Structure 1
Amino acid sequence: MNIADDQAVLAALKAAYPAAKRLRNPLTPVSAEQPASVWGKLRKALEAHKVFGTGRQVFAGAHQLQLHPSMLSQHINRPLAARGPEDTLRWLHAIFSVEKFVSRQCAELIGVKVVRDFAFANGVQLLPLGNMRPSWYSDQLRYVYEGPRSFMAATPSDVAGMIQKVEMTFSTDVKSHRHDYSAFSEVALAITAATDSAPVVGAAWGEYEDTDFADAEFGWGHMPARYEGRPPRFSTVTLEDEHVEPINRFLSLSGNAKRACANAAARLNSARRRVETGQSAIDLATAFESLLATSDERTEITYRLRLRAALILASDYGGRLEVSNRIRDLYSLRSKIVHGDSVASSAAADRSTVEWGTQNFSRLLNLVIGEGRLPDLKRLELTGDAAEAFPS
């Protein structure tokens, strides 16, 4: 550390401190283009500093530090006004030297209401939106849902907050600047399987767990909602203690079972949010295939699915006949949409078919999740015994 360099920067910070305190909005960048201004002199002191003058550009997940004197001098008014000159100098050394840190990844979960905090097996915490730690992002989100809005606003009725803490290391590789919120999507799918709702992940962002570094991000960026279909305004759920165990069972799946159940839950989630009955039928047919068909099967898919679903979802002839007929009806409706015979369907029989498919696929999905593995389809067909689908 060069003491003379630090003293020069500290003197410039002290000279700029009164101006920083007078600013009405510390989030507004200041101009450091005039060399004679306090901000221009601060920029010059930063440029002459052995450490600060070289700048720093590093990335990690949703975080980036672009610490060049030209940018620092425009945005340093924010930490300076809050910290004062001496602590701002300490803070500058901290942000120039930090390598490893804890990222507080956050998101909104639409379609779920919680009245207390929940923690899940994949490290995600679900909490009431009002319990989110105050920050620029969470304050904006709360304003969206709690601020004034017209009666025509299409905002969801139930929204919760999500948090996952992840250890990260800064890198100079820009490819390290990637948003990964897959753990949040897994929780949304797990809740889909465990309840009769269809939650989706909305806006997501990253914060520093250590608030000392919050001012080092001179701009804000977030990942907007990426779900397809209408938001779940009507199919919502209040999470209870009884839901935690089945949610964690889903999150604990591995291998082929994890991939298949994730695809299946995604289709179930979509089917529940569809406006058109026929589109729900397409989702449900695909969902049944994800658990009751293999990728190498090319012929008699509908027959195989009818047989396998009947054997695994019912125990007697009458029940199995009904399942077989229902799967037939579901595929018939799917074919009408896929092949263009009908764009939309609102017939009572079609709605009944989709409702049956939604309820019974949920049963099938939870059966597989409970077993923790995919059914042995060949063994199921040859024995005709649902218990043999999951041999011990």
Structure 2
Amino acid sequence: MKDEIAGIYADGWSRIVATMIRFTGGDWDLAEECAQDAFTKALQKWPESGVPDQPLAWLTTTARHRAIDRMRRAAGEAAKLREAAAMEPPPYLRDSEIPDERLELMFTCCHPSLNLDAQVALTLRSLTGMSTAEIARAFLVPERTMGQRIFRAKQKVAHAAIPFRVPPAHLLPDRLPAVLHVLYLLFNEGYGDPAKARLCQEAIRLARVVTALMPDEPEAQGVLALMLLHDARRPARVDAAGDLVTLDEQDRTLWDQARIAEGAAICERALRRGRAGPFQLQAAIAACHATAPLASRTDWPQIAGLYAELARIAPSPIVELNRAVAIGMVSGPEAALRLVDGITGLDGYYLLHATRADLLRRAGRGQEAAGHYRTALDLAPTDAERRFLRGRLQQP
């Protein structure tokens, strides 16, 4: 039962929060509190009564009752209470009749008056129900810092009276970079944890909506292509025991060829527009991996070139780390190690240490590799990643 409720939470949290933000007149904290209270009551009641036929309607109604109760207690809010009571849904409301306002929520969060990190953090909190700690890990910052960032973002939305809507077409390009960043972080949150796989499908669905809304924006197509190409490899990423399988060892017969074909075609169409952006380049790299018939036939020189272009237009330590991996496949591990040693700002990122360890192992420097595998093991965020690193440590 808890797994079923968890699935409903993953699918329904953002819709309920979006509905409650509009219902409460833009009170984000109250909207989240009421949504959380509704799910808490579901955990208490549904194991005995069973999941209702229309769970989203049940949760939305429960959240609205909670909001009305809170507003009833607040002095001087009689007008707001009357408005809320007038919006009370009838008992026969069905899930299909709950408005889907997630896109409005996303673009509200991504208002240009907020800085990019605040936009992304606020949208992740509101659209996925991720905890502050989880979002902080995604940003590689302390939880306290992220909590303050989210609080300030909500305060700014409230004080600036930012409208809850999808903006007019002429304003959409200003919001696009943050929206795409949000979508990809949402996808990654689900991709890294099998228990949150629904988040990947939600991110893909929202990416399709944004792509349809902005058909002339190649970066929107790029992020959709990138998600599809990564998601196509999901069935081969872990084995029957739940252990990670590296890309070069994955069973390619398990890859979803229809998704690969769709993602590669979308990426190609986007690149033809001649405005290559970071997501298009990452999608092109993913397509190189996904369309190679065998790992040994992967076009590493092309991948290294794509990473070089990506580093030029969107430099970051993560991009440099990935470029070093590609260089290692083209020119050998020692060449890659020289690049890795020059990367700064990723000391707390386990993949930096895991990559350095793997390069040292391939270079025949096993004792040095073991030390870095241990550091990566201490920093790895999931059990599957820790098991993988322990296995590497045990190899000669």
Question: TM-score, normalising length from structure 2?
Answer: 0.26
Query: Which protein has the larger Cα radius of gyration, Structure 1 or Structure 2?
Result: 1
More helix by share: 2
Point out which structure has higher relative CO (alpha carbons under 8 A, 6+ apart).
1
Question: TM-score, normalising length from structure 1?
Answer: 0.26
More strand by share: 1
